[in-house]
Structure 1
C-alpha cells in the first residue's frame, strides 16, 4: 500500500512551498499556517528537505479565498471586496453609481440587491413578533436619558437572544436575519410622537399615514425621529439618504464588522461590532456636530461668527471635507438637490451653503454627507442624534453585505501581526 501511495504521489504534479505560496499570493510561512489549520495537507519532499503540496488542493483553496491576504505592511490594511468602489469623486455599489440608485430605488430594494444580486421592486422587510417584543422590552428598560444609539445597541442584543438559529451562517439564514433585523431595530425605537412608556403597545405598521408608504423602512424610521408628518418629498429624501449611506468602502465600523465576521461571529454580533466602532464624533456621530452648528447659525443669523468660533477654538468646522474626495461628497450633492425641493429645508440649506462659502475663505473644503444630513434633521424637527441613528440603520445593510462576503473568505484572515515595542526579554520578574 505504501508503495502504491508513493507511486501515485510520484505521478502527480506536486508543488514546492514557494510554488504554493506564489499560487496563493501569500508568504511561504503562511502556507504552513494553512497546514496547521487543516486547510492544506503537505508531504515531506523526497530526500526529507521541505514539503510538497497537491496542486489541485492549492488551487481549490485559492478559489475559496486564500488567494491573497490583506496587506498590513503599509500604512493601511487592504481587504478584498466587491461591494463599494470610490473612484474619481464618485461612489459605486457593485459598479453602479450610488446617486443613480438612490434616485431610482428605495432602501429595501438596494439592500436586497446588494445582498443577493437580484433587484426586487417593492420588497418590504418585516419584524418577527418574538424578536420585536424582546427588543422593545429591553429598550423600555433603559434610563429615560438613553439616546437612540443606546437603544439600537440594546435592541440588537435582545433580538439575538430571541433567535436560537443565530449561529447558522449559511447565506439563506443570514439573508433571513438581515430582512428581519433591520425592521426590528427601527420598530424597537420609541415613536417620537408618543411617550416612551407607550412603546410596548406601538405597532410599526400603524405609523401616521401621510403621503409616504407607511410600511417602508424610511417612513417607519421617520416616525421615530420626529413628530412632524412626512410629506412626500421629505420622506423620499430620507429614503435616498438611507440608500446613500448603506456602505462607503472600508470605514472604521465596516472594518470592525469584517474582523468579527472573519472570526465567524453570528450576524447580530457582527452588527454589534459595527455599532461599537460607529460610536464617536469622527464617524457616525459627526452629523450631530454639524446639526448643532447649523442650529447655531440659524439662531445667530450668521455663519461667519459660528465658523470663526470654531476656528478660534482650534476645532474643525463640522460637515466639511472628506479624505476620499477632493471635491464635494457626491452623497451630499445628491441630498442637497433633493432638499432644494423642500420649502421647509431652505433656511437650513442656505445656512449650510453659507458655512461652506465662509470656510472657503480660510481653506478649500467641500461639504460632506454629514452636513447634508444636518440640513435634513434640522429642517424636519429631528434631534441632533437623528443623523447618527439614520446612519446606523442604513449602514446595517452594508455591514450584512460585508459579512456575507467575509464568510466566504478563510476564517481569521483579519489577524495583523503586532510590532512589539516593549522591553526585550528576558526582563526581571516585577
Structure 2
C-alpha cells in the first residue's frame, strides 16, 4: 500500500505527526510494514492534510519502537548515520543545539558551553570542581608514570584513577552522569603537572565575557594554562584558550566520539566512555594532528618562511598539516574564530603570520584552507607550549562532548551498534594447526 492508498485512515489533523517515510525510518522498516502495523492495530494513522498519504503520532511510534526493539535506518553510501541533536555542521558553519557554536564559544566560558551541550540550558557563572579523593588518586597514579610520558598518557591514567575512586560510577542516571562529568573534567586538568615549575594562577577573577567578546572569569582555562606553559598568562591569551576549549567541545561524530558512543551503547560508565574517546583521540589524524602543525609552524619560523617547509612536505609525499577539512569547503570556522582572537595577542603575531604564509604557499598548488589544528599551533608556538599542547586542549575540551553523546546514546536501544563482519579467511573445516614445537622436532 502506498501513501495514496490508506482507506482506513482517520481525517482529523493532529500535532506532532510523522509522515509514513519518517515513521518507517524511525522503526527501521519499509513503508509497507508501517501499514501492516496499522492493520494489526499496533499503530493508528490519520489522513494527511490534502488527502495524500497518512501521518502517525510520534509518541505512539516511539512506544512501538521501544516494544519491537528500534532499529536504525539503513545508512547511505556505506557510511554510519545516527540521529543526534547535539551538533549540526552545515554550509561551512556548525551549531550546538541550533546555536552558532563560534558565537557561543566567544561569548561564554567553556563550562557554560558544556552545560548548554549537556542540558540545553545556559547557566551563567557555572564552575566545575574536582573532588579531593578523585584528584588525590589521579595525582598519585600520574606521579608513578615514567618522566617521558606525555599529557595524553597522564590524562588516560587520571581517568582510570578517578573511576576507581568513584564507587558510584555505574549509576547511569542522567544526574549521576552529569555530576561525574562536572567533577572529572577539572580532575583531569588538576592532575596534570605544572610546566617548568610555573606558579599557580593568581587569585581573582576577570571581567565576565559578554557581547563585546571580553575575557571571562577564566575558570577551567585559567587552571589549564600553567599546565601548558611556564609563561604567565595574559587576558588576551586566556581568552584564546577558553574560546578554543568551547569551540572544540564537539564536532558531530568524529572518530573519538563514535568510539565513545559505542562504549555508551554498551552501557559503560562515563569514565570508560571518556577512556574510549581518549584512546582514539591520540591518533595522528585526529587529536594529535595539532602537534604536527606545531612542528611545521616552528620550523617555518626558524627557516624564515613557509616555502621551504611546504616544499619539503610536498617533496616527501607528506600532507601539509593544519590544512583542509572534509566537512568544510572554506576555512574551518573554528580556525577563523581563533585567528581573529590571536590577532589581538601581540606576541602571537610572528606565528600567525607564518600560519598565513603556510596557507598562501600551499594554495598555489591545492585549494586548501586552514583548519583548527593550525590555529591551535599558532597558540602553542607563540605561547611557548610543547607540541602536544594542542592535543591536551583538544582532549580536555572534547571530554564534555563525549559525555553529551553518552547521555544521548543512553536514550537509544543498548548495543545497537553491532556491525556484521564480512569474513574473507579460509573456509572451514580446516585441519588443526601444527604447533611450532612439533615442527622443531
Tell me what 1:289 maps to.
292
Q: Is 1:413 aligned with 2:416?
A: yes
- Tell which deviates more after alignment, 288-297 or 69-78: 69-78
Offset at 1:422? 2.2
Q: Is 1:305 aligned with 2:313?
A: no
Equivalent residue in structure 1 for 2:190, among 187, 191, 213: 187
Q: Distance in 2 between matches of 1:144 and 1:53?
A: 67
Tell me what 2:36 maps to.
none
Tell me what 1:222 maps to.
225
Tell me what 2:28 maps to.
26
Query: Across the two proteins, how many residue pairs are aligned to each other?
Result: 383
Describe the SS at the equivalent of 1:246.
coil
- Tell which deviates more after alignment, 211-220 or 161-170: 211-220
Deviations along 1:325-351, one digit per CA (max 9) or x if unpaired, are 111000000000000011000000000
Equivalent residue in structure 1 for 2:103, among 86, 100, 105: 100
Equivalent residue in structure 1 for 2:201, among 203, 207, 232: 207
Q: Distance in 2 between matches of 1:162 and 1:397?
A: 20
- Tell which deviates more after alignment, 154-163 or 112-121: 112-121
Gaps of 5+ in 1: 1-20, 32-51, 196-201
Q: Residues 218 and 238 of structure 2 are in contact (CA less than 8 Å); yes or no, is this contact kept in structure 1?
A: no
Deviations along 1:277-298, one digit per CA (max 9) or x if unpaired, are 1011100000000000011011
Equivalent residue in structure 1 for 2:354, among 322, 337, 351: 351
Describe how 1:246-265 pairs up with structure 2 within 5 A. Answer: 246-265=249-268
Tell me what 1:399 maps to.
402
Deviations along 1:240-282, one digit per CA (max 9) or x if unpaired, are 0001000001000000000000000000000000000101110
Q: Residues 70 and 413 of structure 1 are in contact (CA less than 8 Å); yes or no, is this contact kept in structure 2?
A: no
Coordinate RMSD, CA, aligned: 2.6
Q: Distance in 2 between matches of 1:185 and 1:411?
A: 28
Offset at 1:149? 0.3
Offset at 1:419? 1.7
Q: Is 1:87 aligned with 2:90?
A: yes
Gaps of 5+ in 2: 1-22, 34-39, 45-59, 207-215, 434-441
Describe the SS at the equivalent of 2:94.
strand
Describe the SS at the equivalent of 1:328.
coil
Describe the SS at the equivalent of 1:86.
strand
TM-score of the superposition, structure 1-length normalised? 0.84
Q: Distance in 1 between matches of 2:91 and 2:221?
A: 30
Q: Distance in 2 between matches of 1:110 and 1:240?
A: 10
Q: Residues 64 and 410 of structure 1 are in contact (CA less than 8 Å); yes or no, is this contact kept in structure 2?
A: no
